[in-house]
Structure 1
Amino acid sequence: MSTIRVSSNSVPDTTLIPNIFIDNYMPSANGTYVKVYLYLLRCMNSFADIEITISNIADRLDETEKDIIRALSYWEKENLVTLTKNSKNDIDSITINNIYSTTHTNTVLSIEAEPAVVPTVSVEEYTMAESAATKTPSIPHRTFEKPTYSEAQIKQLTEADEVKWLLNIIEIYLERLIKPMDLQLILYLYESLDFSAELIMYLYEYCVSKNKKNPSYIEAVALSWAEEGIDTVEKAEAATTQYNNNYNAINKAFGLNRAPGQIEKQLISKWMNKFGFTIDIIVEACNRTILQTQKPDFKYADKILENWNKKGVKELSNIAPLDAEHQKLSAARAGQVKAAPQQKPANNRFNAFPQRTYTEEDYSSMEQRLLHKQ
């Protein structure tokens, strides 16, 4: 992601939160969205310039990068921030608008992005699972509003035997009692996203197996599943299984015995999500990388796959014609650079006389004459 510089003309050591935000915006906003907005205010009021990235914000707030981008888009829709993006659709700059102005004139804060190191947004493990589970295009992005349930609503929803049973099971998964934030999330999944009790249990089981118990992470996984149309345990199992199979196949091709790093995940995500390559094409690129470099070089494999994407490769069978064409061009180039036949030099004053050839005896005779002269 792009590195984002947050700067301010003033350097107060406190962060002021406008009352209008607390009164009018905070009650209806997702908790993660509130955290992101408050953190931007904090960055604006820092003593020094702060260079941040989407990844840094996600780590700081213990959220996923997709959460951060979703939050920024939400606040842009509410006109509290203005986002600009570059040609690669990466966030280029963020401006916090004047919350008291109906026209939302810009404040001093200007967040300018430096050139991006990686042109794709980092995607967490769960995103890999859902996008890799199917070869069909992704379902268009949907917005899911998260309500805040009142005590009366909570009492009414938790009276159902299925919900009581679900809460007990989740407590076992989390190895602790249900907290208010957990309860709000579970009811949101059950009542607003229409997740079945079985799917919610599998969601928690999957996240806990990844050692992820944070409600915001679990919510992000659920939203991704909802966006991708994963509404049954069978679909979720297929997605997570495909995710594991894909990573295992890449690790096997590269001879790795570890989980991919952050940059490696970004590249794998680009290959699967942006290029739409199937795992057999990716494995072929990994195999060729090992043959050429003798090491698991993700960047080298990325160059191979970028070239195939430009050439319109959609299936593994599309690669063979490209190889044949490449060999043909290579042979043609080799023929062009082959040395031209040596031509007889033209006669001039330096080579107008007959050229003499010397034998080994001639050289021996000349050597003897030189020795006798000394």
Structure 2
Amino acid sequence: MNKFEYYISNEDMGVSIIENIFINHYMPSANGEYVKVYIWGLKYAFNNLQTNIKDKDIAEALGLLESDVIKAWDYWQNEGIIRIINKSKDEKFIQYLNIKSIVLSSKNINAHSGQSAEQDKKRRQMFIQIEDMYRRPLSSKEMASINAWIDEYKFTVQTVLLLIEDCVARNHTELNYLNQVAQNWYDNNIRTFDEAQDYLSDNKRRMDRYSEIFKYLGLNRLASKPEQKLIDGWFDTYGFDMTTISKAADTTVALDKPSIKYIDSVLKDWFENGEVKDAAAKKPKKKQSKHNLANKHEYNFAELEKKWLNKDEVEEDEISY
């Protein structure tokens, strides 16, 4: 196995090639300090210099503030001619892109899809943000799939970023998994960022419900798809709340293993019989004793005595006739 290296003992003897397209189309409108930072970094990238250099070191070498160097990297990344991949909190990988290839690729894409230069710029910035989340460059296959979500599923750029951010948060970056999620979103008529946010919020609420119910039953596992469907019906179809469902779950005490199907049968019975949400709280009324009335009424014994005296006088008068 052969390994090749072009050795130069002094970097001042080396050459850094700046593309004419950068000089003609990017440099004139850029802040001069940003141009300095771009060229300084290009020297390290073009000559494959392995020296680890911090933004602070670049700032000192160019007589700039460190914050200006950071702003310069952000500017060129937004222009789409470099990629910044954060390796860690204190380390980032800056990749210089061949500008000619980017421009030609953009023209081909625009000619094929009819998208504007502004749309193309937003899409390139989207890929940069995704690579930052992945902490690695995207493959051509990944980029093609993501482009398809926009072109075929009509997702907005913001929708794509939200989808990938959610998947990354759940430790999923596999293309097959992401394609399946994108398909699910499309099937659920999700297109815009707001629709995606509402979908994720509703999905989180449902997942929290499954977790709460399984925890109440002492089940240390995730709900299966059929179980999720049954539980969703308790809320969406029957209109029961968590309090009523908990009381229905209490009916499984006599069972060896708590069963979602059993709870569903209980709730279905309550629903079909017109039971209200607090049906489980209802208790049969106790029969009142006929001799236990003293506590339910208050009597005026003086008034009763007067009535009885009057009654006796009337009876005596009737007898006298």
TM beyond 0.5:
no
Q: TM-score, normalised by structure 2?
A: 0.42
Structure index of larger Rg: 2
Q: Which has the higher contact order (CA 8 A, sep 6+)?
A: 1
Relative to total residues, which structure has the larger helix share, 1 or 2?
2
